[in-house]
A and B are shown apart, each in its own frame.
Chain A
Amino acid sequence: MDPTAPAADVFDPALPWRRARSVALRPEPFGALVYHFGNRKLSFLKSKTLVTVVETLADHPSADATLVACGVPEAQRPAYVKALADLARSQMIEVRA
């Protein structure tokens, strides 16, 4: 674990994020399986849009901007922010320096 990472229980969608470097995504029919080689945790992305969001976090200035760019409807944004917060907590995504 990167000791300089911010407290993992705080997820700020205004910050720039990316898929953590030690994390791999495996495509699955329902979305993807997420594996962290460091802490050996496994998680799941339950929609293909969420997969695109996680994969493109690094291309946008913030998580919020990523959701907009991926066309996530306004009404679904809170659910996506919650999903990203869960991924941040398990270190699957990390803040870009």
Chain B
Amino acid sequence: MTAVVPQRPTGGRLVDQFEYGLDAPICLTWELTYACNLACVHCLSSSGRRDPRELSTAEAEGVIDELQRMQVFYVNVGGGEPTVRPDFWHLLDYAIGHDVGVKFSTNGVKLDRERAAQLAATDYVDVQISLDGATAEVNDRVRGTGSFATAVTALENLAEAGMKDFKVSVVVTRENVSQLDEFRALTDRYGAQLRITRLRPSGRGADVWDQLHPTQAQQRELYAWLLANGDRVLTGDSFFHLSAYGEALPGLNLCGAGRVVCLIDPVGDVYACPFAIHEQFLAGNVRGEGGFQRVWQQSDLFQELRSPQTGGACTKCAHFDACRGGCMAAKFFTGLPLDGPDPECVQGHGESALAARDLDLVTPRSHLDHSHTGPVRGQPTLLGMPAIPTRPTPAPPARICDESPLAGVPLG
């Protein structure tokens, strides 16, 4: 199939330029391992067990060399739990030494005093601790017993070591959306910055999305909160679907998948975005000839994603320019058409679309699942008591296309 490649316009708004893609990603997420000590109910990558095909140290160094050549100035590293990779600290130093800054997401399990001091003394490294409740009660239900205490200990260690500007990363759910002010108080206490992102129905997130995604009323509250507090909170531009309420939120109000964003997974597969671990969004592998650069610049999938949406129900909506149809992954994993409304469309079109789905519809599932297969210590209780796990109850937290590098950048 040969697609007619639309011509990039000259001049105009940056957001229109971004629709046609960039020569290298701005926001690259790199998940280093599928291994994780936790089994969060909403893990977007269904992590838990290491994959035997994961990139070796030398291969990971090769990827970093390539990112340096492509001038990808920083990456968001996640997992799984990236710090359980024995070579994690080496790769961190290697990246920084090659002009590739690192922000990594962690549940805090390895951030003892010594590591915290090491991080505080390193430039170009940024840490974000995942926390999905401002109290142990709310957090541990989805992330597992003891995970709140682990995260808070890591925060204490970082603060004590004098680390600046580290982040606390929260996936907003029905159960914690009322705690936003509490999250802010908590992060202030450690001199950290709050980052909140959207729950996607990706990975194990699909299993709990109905139960955990914010209600319409909560979305409205969240929008009001973001308008009032947006300048002091990072969002990874992940709430752009809320812009259809009226006022645009800061950042890139556009799906960046394959355009400015992508994911390299632990085995080197390149997906259009961290929330789209599915064969349909797999563009290639860094081990292939031409490496990551060829995948980014030449894969058929990414070429296809780099054109403005011209058809579908959303283009006829008065709010289309505000939300651009929302999140591709959220639509895909809830079985909605990609050119139709986001399942959480604030104009209510998503709810109607969900209701209109065929009763026999089987929503797409990733071909990958690295969830723990046995019981995990302190496993989350959201899905019931863990005596006999009904489903392998697995791992790590939502890693998002990080802190917006674009916040505050005028995109007009």
Binds A, one of B17-25, B34-42, B107-115: B17-25
Q: Mark A27-45, 1 if CB is under 8 A from B, else 0.
A: 1111001010100101110
Centre residue among A26, A27, A43 by max chain B CB count within 10 A: A26
A24 within 8 A of B: yes
Q: Mark B76-102, 1 if CB is under 8 A from A, else 0.
A: 000000000000000000000001010
B71 within 8 A of A: yes
Q: With A37-B99, A44-B14 in contact, is A28–B23 under 8 Å at CB? A: yes
With the chains together, A68 CA to B8 CA distance in Å? 29
Q: Are B409 and A43 in contact (CB under 8 A)?
A: yes
Q: Are B11 and A29 in contact (CB under 8 A)?
A: no
Taking a contact as CB atoms closer than 8 A, the residue among B8, B10, B101, B409 that contacts A44 in the complex is: B409
Chain A nearest CB from B405 CB (Å) reads 4
Contacts of A27 in B (CB 8 A): 23
B124 within 8 A of A: yes
Write the chain A residue with the least CB distance to B13.
A46
Contacts of B17 in A (CB 8 A): 28-30, 46
A52 within 8 A of B: no
Q: Are B24 and A26 in contact (CB under 8 A)?
A: yes
**Chain A, range 14-60, C-beta contacts under 8 Å to B:** 24, 26-30, 33, 35, 37, 40, 42-44, 46-47
Contacts of A29 in B (CB 8 A): 8, 17, 20, 22-23
Q: Mark B318-345, 1 if CB is under 8 A from A, else 0.
A: 0000000000000000000000000000
With the chains together, A47 CA to B17 CA distance in Å? 11
Q: With A42-B406, A44-B409 in contact, is A33–B11 under 8 Å at CB? A: no
Contacts of B10 in A (CB 8 A): 30
Q: Are A42 and B22 in contact (CB under 8 A)?
A: no
Q: Mark B1-31, 1 if CB is under 8 A from A, else 0.
A: 0000000101100100100101110100000
**Chain B, range 387-412, C-beta contacts under 8 Å to A:** 405-406, 409-410
With the chains together, A37 CA to B68 CA distance in Å? 13
With the chains together, A20 CA to B99 CA distance in Å? 16
Contacts of B410 in A (CB 8 A): 86
Q: Mark B51-66, 1 if CB is under 8 A from A, else 0.
A: 0000000000000000
Q: Are B124 and A28 in contact (CB under 8 A)?
A: no
Chain A nearest CB from B117 CB (Å) reads 21
Q: Are A42 and B409 in contact (CB under 8 A)?
A: yes
Chain A nearest CB from B73 CB (Å) reads 4
With the chains together, A53 CA to B117 CA distance in Å? 42
B74 within 8 A of A: yes
Q: Are A46 and B71 in contact (CB under 8 A)?
A: no
Contacts of B23 in A (CB 8 A): 26-29
Write the chain A residue with the least CB distance to B20.
A29
Q: Mark B156-198, 1 if CB is under 8 A from A, else 0.
A: 0000000000000000000000000000000000000000000
With the chains together, A28 CA to B73 CA distance in Å? 14
Chain A nearest CB from B263 CB (Å) reads 19
Chain B nearest CB from A16 CB (Å) reads 26
Chain A nearest CB from B211 CB (Å) reads 37
Rank and list the top 3 A-B pairs by shortest CB-CB distance, nearest first. Answer: A26-B71, A35-B73, A30-B17
Residues of B within 8 A of A (CB): 8, 10-11, 14, 17, 20, 22-24, 26, 71, 73-74, 99, 101, 124, 126, 405-406, 409-410
Q: Name 13 A/B residue pairs within 8 A (Cβ), A-sorted.
A: A24-B99, A26-B71, A28-B17, A29-B22, A30-B8, A30-B11, A33-B22, A37-B99, A37-B101, A40-B124, A44-B14, A44-B409, A86-B410
